[in-house]
Structure 1
């Protein structure tokens, strides 16, 4: 019996009590079932009686008694206790609990998936670094977290569009172009320009790809370096993202907002909502009405459009393209953007608490031999995504960056993350997967396959029970990660599963040794090992991490 099936059973018990006239309440659409921290309190617990008591006009324990009587009649439930003010503690018999192993294996890649966010249309924008250089370490964090979050949201039924916003219309692009031009002509970079080997590399590639560019007048040269240099830099960013396993459905150009007139149209739409005003020759958006610390300029007095105007047009573009919820994942230096972006949504007539979400990631540090690493040979004074991958690999980078809450600073220790020890979290989880694959290979060598005559009641030791209980939590953990937009819950869960599997593996012999016979217990434990492999593989896939069969 899975936690979902038990939840449905409790829901059915409430419905039966209502039909019998014992309770006069609305049957809840969903009943929460949780694993109690103290196993003496049963296999699962629910507080549904406390939730229904007020509407029923009865003490919680009286509601619990009515439900407990019905739950005790369900096949697979061995005991139901009422604890405290009205908690229901439910104990399953070993066969019902063990049957979960078969259910997981049969479900395969679908196990854990749910419909908590069914049909919700989400636009998920992340990384969005200026296309003037390689992705730096802060962007690497969002590449790991954002891509993992997209996978988690889709596994919870959401329709997700992943998007990279190219800031290709600002003054920084001009400085980037001037830096390329200077490098190509053998001149020092401008005082406010960009430096690093990547500038030299792109300049060389551009000169090779556009014959005669250096023969053009300076102003025409600069325009070519701006246009073609931007293309090369974006292609470089796309390459690094692809190699990191992060893919975007949309690469959105800021420049198109200006070229298409979308910015002007957005300002008029916001004016129609009553939040645009003119003052001192400039055009403003009254964002202070919705919690911003000051009103924002859309068009300056000299007629120049602000970045904020493009932000407003971009938000409206997302909504026009069908997004119900626009999620912005911004860097640690963007705290000031939270209120102003939410104010844009409110000024557009949207619900700023529902239609827009802004997440701010904190800083990432890297250590080697106890010392902080600060420099990149290729990019100068920043650590790039290629540096991170070269030092610790894609799997370690993705897993470690995704396993921490985004509101916390991360320190990546190169020595730890390249070691094959239990201190390395990605190794610890992947090793559990390889152990299970090793069991399958050894079983095949012995000619042993999982028997369909599975006897789940044989999975009765404390280690088997603990592992089964953890495996049953996967759908709930995945739903929570999607609801709260926090994929790190999946990583922490996988580490708990790996720990319980290693304990099971060490305490419970799976395959026969020597001349020992193959028994029903052998087959039952093979089902359990395969179920665990399925859960860990599903979880690692959601984090964009590989599932090696050998290490």
Structure 2
């Protein structure tokens, strides 16, 4: 019996009691929260639903809890219930009822834990979106890892997900990048506000090589013509480098959207006219303003400057509208800590279009990444010249360790990455610890096959009765709820943290419970049941690692 099944059962009981205790069905939550008690002496599962609903029902929490337990006691598979403290309902299950979870996991396979909770929602998630003027830096790499993992989690919960990357290719930074390329090619000083690093020279040389292949003699072109060529070809090469880097990092996108399209397609003007029709913009001092203070911003924002050119914010407005018109019911935007002041104006714009800030548009702010090696902070990339790149991290520790280490920390916390730790094959290395647990389940499975302990038929769930069996079943049962919580709270770090707990419980179980009989023993029902339990652990570890974009190895 799973927590979800207990939740549904308790909700059914509350529905049956509703007339007696004065509750209406709409006051009973759609999902009754059922959790693993911290102390195993308080049962297998526990709920505080009686305390939540007692006031609405006009009944003491313990009295309501008693009514619930009296009906739970009649359910097959439940051995005992009790009312504890101010009104907790504690529940003990028969070993067979708890062990039946193994069959559920093995039958569901790769979809165990998945749900349709977000079915009908089309969520557009925009992340990374680094300017196309250099390689992906370490902060952008963090958004690639957490953004891609969040998309996988949302999809696992039933949402239609669009992964989107916004190329800011319309502003002054592209001109600075172009002038930097030309300067490196011509052997002159890069402009003071330009871009340095080895990659600029590499791109410049590749542009010159392409021109030569095309029969274009750049030396005979005007400076303007040279800059136009370097702009077109150089930014294209930089775009491709970024895409290749992200693909190698297992962070592929559905849409690469170019800011320039918003201006050339007329989307900016169309968005401004829609806001004008809503009566939320005005003219002042020759400029056009959004009434953003009406929606909680600290000041109104310029959309069109006094010279008639669009302000930077105008593209943001058009882009939000464009995503909505492409079918997004929810937009999630993952930004770095330096964009914190960006939130109020974006939420005001969302409200001005009739959207719901925090729902129609949700902005997640993430923190920085620090890299250490030999106890010393790593501060510079040889290639980029100024920042550590995602490629630097991957070259140092590999894709699996890089992704896992970036995902496992909450986005609102700074990540401190220890390269020496991530290279180590020790239990202190989180990704190694989890991957080794998966490899161990595979090894146990291979050895069990050789011993004739197979997982290809029925098993007696009631034989999974030891404390270690019970603990392992309990953590396996929590995976669906953890996945839903990760989706609803936009907290992808919950998945690797869960996997680490599962790996710890599995290693403990492995040391206490035998899957393969000793040489002087016969195969028993308990051996077969534990072989099935081993396979269930393998499946859940693989499912969770897949969500993180990390390989589940069969051997290590």
CA distance in structure 2 between the partners assigned to 1:506 and 1:23 by the alignment? 51
Q: Output one character per residue of 1:99-119: Cα deviation in whole Å (capped at 9) or x when no partner.
A: 111211111111111222222
CA distance in structure 2 between the partners assigned to 1:484 and 1:115 by the alignment? 16
How many Å apart are 1:486 and its aligned residue?
0.5
Q: Output one character per residue of 1:212-250: Cα deviation in whole Å (capped at 9) or x when no partner.
A: 151322111111111111111111000000000001111
How many Å apart are 1:17 and its aligned residue?
2.8
Q: Which moved more, 1:507-516 or 1:226-235?
A: 507-516
Asked whether the equivalents of residues 180 and 202 of structure 1 are also in contact (C-alpha less than 8 Å), the reply is yes
Q: Say whether residues 1:149 and 2:154 are aligned partners.
A: no
Q: Say whether residues 1:350 and 2:355 are aligned partners.
A: yes
- Which residue does 2:500 correspond to in 1? 495
CA distance in structure 2 between the partners assigned to 1:22 and 1:351 by the alignment? 37
Q: Output one character per residue of 1:311-356: Cα deviation in whole Å (capped at 9) or x when no partner.
A: 1111111111111211110112111111111111011121113211
Structure 2 matches for 1:16-55, cutoff 5 A? 16-18=16-18, 21=20, 24-26=23-25, 27-55=28-56
Asked whether the equivalents of residues 21 and 58 of structure 2 are also in contact (C-alpha less than 8 Å), the reply is no
How many Å apart are 1:150 and its aligned residue?
0.3
- Which residue does 1:218 correspond to in 2? 223
Question: Cα RMSD between the aligned structures?
Answer: 1.4
Match of 1:368 among 370, 373, 392: 373
CA distance in structure 1 between the partners assigned to 2:77 and 2:152 by the alignment? 34
CA distance in structure 1 between the partners assigned to 2:462 and 2:289 by the alignment? 70
Asked whether the equivalents of residues 336 and 365 of structure 2 are also in contact (C-alpha less than 8 Å), the reply is yes
Structure 2 matches for 1:312-391, cutoff 5 A? 312-391=317-396
Q: Say whether residues 1:287 and 2:288 are aligned partners.
A: no
CA distance in structure 2 between the partners assigned to 1:213 and 1:206 by the alignment? 12
Q: Say whether residues 1:306 and 2:307 are aligned partners.
A: no
Structure 2 matches for 1:63-82, cutoff 5 A? 63-82=64-83
Give 3-state SS (helix, strand or coil) of 2:522's partner: coil
Q: Say whether residues 1:162 and 2:167 are aligned partners.
A: no
- Which residue does 2:3 correspond to in 1? 3
CA distance in structure 1 between the partners assigned to 2:117 and 2:48 by the alignment? 20
CA distance in structure 2 between the partners assigned to 1:90 and 1:51 by the alignment? 18
Q: Which moved more, 1:81-90 or 1:362-371?
A: 81-90
- Which residue does 1:175 correspond to in 2? 176
Q: Which moved more, 1:501-510 or 1:515-524?
A: 515-524
Give the aligned length.
550
CA distance in structure 1 between the partners assigned to 2:259 and 2:446 by the alignment? 53
How many Å apart are 1:73 and its aligned residue?
1.0
CA distance in structure 1 between the partners assigned to 2:358 and 2:458 by the alignment? 52
CA distance in structure 2 between the partners assigned to 1:3 and 1:213 by the alignment? 71
CA distance in structure 2 between the partners assigned to 1:315 and 1:395 by the alignment? 33
Q: Say whether residues 1:408 and 2:413 are aligned partners.
A: yes
Could you list the runs of 4 or more consecutive aligned residues of structure 1 that deviate by over 6 angstroms after TM superposition? none
Q: Say whether residues 1:12 and 2:17 are aligned partners.
A: no
Give the TM-score of the pair, scaled to structure 2. Answer: 0.96
Give the TM-score of the pair, scaled to structure 1. Answer: 0.97
Give 3-state SS (helix, strand or coil) of 1:319's partner: helix
List alignment gaps of at least 5 residues for structure 2: none
CA distance in structure 2 between the partners assigned to 1:213 and 1:35 by the alignment? 72
Q: Say whether residues 1:296 and 2:295 are aligned partners.
A: no
List alignment gaps of at least 5 residues for structure 1: none
Give 3-state SS (helix, strand or coil) of 2:432's partner: helix
Q: Which moved more, 1:23-32 or 1:396-405?
A: 23-32
Q: Output one character per residue of 1:163-196: Cα deviation in whole Å (capped at 9) or x when no partner.
A: 0000000010011111111222232322221111
